[in-house]
Structure formats: C-alpha cells, structure tokens
C-alpha cells in the first residue's frame, strides 16, 4: 500500500485510503492507456469477516476516479450476518456497480444489503480549472485535450512535440507534420509542461490561452507537469519526442547532469529502455544551422536519435522572435 500511494495511510480502511488508491490507479491508467481513450482508476479497501472475530465494524469503501469526477461509497455491514464469502460477494457487487456508474452504464446488480446497510455516497465533480490545478499541484500527471479527428485509427504510440508554444506558429505545425510522416504508427501531439525547471508554474489562465490555439486548429495537446525529458519518458513510455538540434545538444551535455558523463548516460539509457526515441530537427545555433549529424552523440545512444534532414524541414522562425515583433 505504501509503495502504491507513496506514503503510509493513517488508516487502511478509510475514505481517504480508498480515494488515494483510486487516484494512484487513475494516474497509472493515464500513462498506460492508448491515445484518445477514456480512463478510470478504482480503489477498494475493506475490513471484512475473517477467521478470527473482529472488534471493529465490518465495512468497505469503493472509489472511482475519472478526469472529471471522484465518487466514493461506504457501507457498514451488519456484523455476524454473513460469512466472509458472502461479505466478499456483497462488496464485489458494489464494486462492479461503482464501475458501471462511473462509465454511465445502467447496472441491475443485486447487492443483497439490509435496510440498515444503506450506502453513504459522496460525489465530487471537477471543472477544467480544477483539473488543470491538479496537474500543476502534481496530483494528476496530465490532462489530454483531443482536438483532432484522428481517433478512429489505432496508434501504437505518441509522437510528441514539447514546447511552450507562446505562440504556436507554422514551424511547430510543420515540424510535427514531418515527424509524423516518418513515424506513421504514432498519434501526433503537442505537449506543454505547466511546471518549468527555472520559472514559476504557468497560471491556469495562461494554460487555457495556449490550449485555445490548438483547439482552433484541431490539434491534440497534452498538459503535463514534467519539464525534464527523462521524466517525460516515464510519463509517455514508448513515445517519440520531436526536438530541435539545440535541445538534443543539451540532452547529451554532461553539464546538465552535474558534470557527470556517466549519470547522463545512465539516465538516457533508462529512457531508451522504455522505447523512447528522439526525432531531431535542424535549428539555428548561434547563427549556424545545425542538424543531428553535427552533434557528438555517444555511441550507446545513437540509435535513439533520428535525423530530420534539412531537406525535409527547415523554418528559421521562433516564438521568441514573434513575441519581440509583437511587442509588449
């Protein structure tokens, strides 16, 4: 339990423990799910009949967590009325009904409870601002906005272009388009981290403003809370990340790993083991246009990096330049 929740619950059979379990399961489901799928986390904890008599109540809690809702049911069973197997059956029925309710599926499940065993239920709905705040606070690992109509295809992985997109411009769109044509088994997505390594977190208003750019163009965007690539690789296992040559140069520079070359290698090999790949587009670095072939990539990592040639993509445009021209 402590490993699942990352902490020891104050009480194992409690509303808080059940809801924490559902949240942990929801975050795991988000990481494991296929692109575009709705996911749910389910938590169940109970203290039921056992071979030895119990001093406390026989009770259980079941929680379901979706992107927009947290539901919890709590039932105290009449002590001595049922065997362990019968209490298991009653709680299992409630668990199935909770899943059905969260999926908005009508369920005619006979729960076989007494009048005195009325379930206590709580429901908490989340609006978009609350969802985004949960991402910023690290409660929820991501919020996915599916604006494209490409959900009908079966995708094996995501092709992710991370950035701040302040603003989104034609270079971003073209780069992801070219990268997607090189990996036709992936769902193209943009990704914005609400948390920045060396700046304050983005505000909810700013995130929504940037998301609106993608909504207008029908492009998928993910809001995460991971500014570092090795953490992104954990969050999106098996994905291909689209990056510029400047970012690729930083990725393999030991300076960003406390000056430790072996630490850099260890972290990136862990990314490689999750199936992570990097598609590298050319960028102007200090006035010189550089591509992947101009960089010194360690031999152990070379097959992680795939070059997007200058012939396929070159657009000398940046969000910083656009902001400067727009003025304050």
What does the pLDDT look like over 20-40, one tens digit per residue?
999 999 999 999 887 668 899
Say if residue 200's pLDDT is above 70.
Answer: yes
Delimiting residues of CATH 3.40.50.620 domain(s) in the chain: 129-326
CATH architecture of 129-326: 3-Layer(aba) Sandwich (3.40)
pLDDT bin (cut points 50, 70, 90) of residue 157 is confident
Per-residue confidence (pLDDT) for residue 151, from 0 to 100: 58
Surface-to-core class of residue 22, CB atoms within 10 Å of its CB (0-12 exposed, 13-18 middle, 19+ buried): buried
Say if residue 70's pLDDT is above 60.
Answer: yes
Determine how β-strand 142-145 pairs with β-strand 221-224: antiparallel
Which tokens hold the place of 289?
């246009």
Cβ neighbors of 242 (< 8 A, separation 6 or more) are 159, 160, 161, 162, 175, 176, 179, 278, 279, 281, 308
Say if residue 304's pLDDT is above 80.
Answer: yes
Interval 99-125: pLDDT, tens: 999 999 987 777 788 888 989 999 999
- Across residues 127-134, what is the average pLDDT? 98
Per-residue confidence (pLDDT) for residue 197, from 0 to 100: 86
pTM comes to 0.90
d(CA 163, CA 243): 9
> Residue for token digits 């060396």?
198
d(CA 281, CA 245): 6
Between 236 and 109, residue with greater pLDDT: 236
Phi, psi of 123 (to 5 degrees): -135, 130
- 3-state DSSP assignment of residue 233: helix
């Amino acid at each position: 339990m402590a490993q699942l929740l990352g902490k020891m619950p104050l009480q194992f059979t409690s509303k808080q423990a059940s809801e924490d379990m559902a949240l942990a399961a929801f975050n795991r489901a988000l990481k494991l799910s296929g692109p575009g799928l709705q996911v749910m986390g389910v938590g169940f904890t109970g203290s039921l009949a056992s071979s030895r008599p119990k001093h406390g109540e026989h009770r259980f809690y079941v929680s379901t967590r979706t992107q927009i809702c947290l539901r919890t049911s709590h039932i105290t069973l009449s002590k001595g009325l049922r065997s362990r197997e019968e209490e298991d059956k009653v709680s299992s029925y409630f668990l199935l009904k909770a899943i059905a309710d969260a999926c908005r599926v009508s369920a005619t499940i006979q729960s076989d409870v007494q009048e005195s065993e009325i379930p206590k239920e709580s429901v908490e709905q989340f609006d978009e601002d609350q969802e985004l705040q949960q991402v910023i606070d690290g409660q929820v690992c991501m919020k996915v906005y599916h604006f494209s109509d490409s959900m009908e295809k079966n995708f094996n992985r995501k092709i992710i272009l991370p950035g701040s997109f302040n603003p989104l411009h034609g270079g971003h769109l073209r780069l992801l388009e070219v990268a997607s044509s090189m990996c036709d088994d992936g769902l193209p997505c943009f990704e914005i981290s609400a948390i920045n390594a060396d700046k304050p977190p983005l505000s909810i208003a700013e995130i929504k403003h940037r998301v609106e750019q993608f909504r207008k163009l029908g492009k998928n965007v993910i809001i995460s809370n991971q500014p570092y690539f090795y953490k992104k690789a954990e969050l999106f296992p098996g994905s291909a990340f689209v990056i510029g040559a400047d970012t690729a140069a930083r990725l393999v520079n030991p300076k960003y790993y406390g000056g430790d070359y072996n630490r850099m290698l260890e972290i990136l090999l862990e990314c490689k083991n999750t199936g992570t790949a990097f598609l590298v587009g050319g960028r102007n670095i200090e006035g010189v246009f550089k591509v992947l072939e101009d960089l010194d990539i360690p031999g152990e990592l070379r097959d992680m990096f795939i070059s997007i040639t200058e012939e396929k993509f070159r657009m000398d445009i940046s969000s910083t330049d656009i902001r400067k021209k727009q003025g304050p």
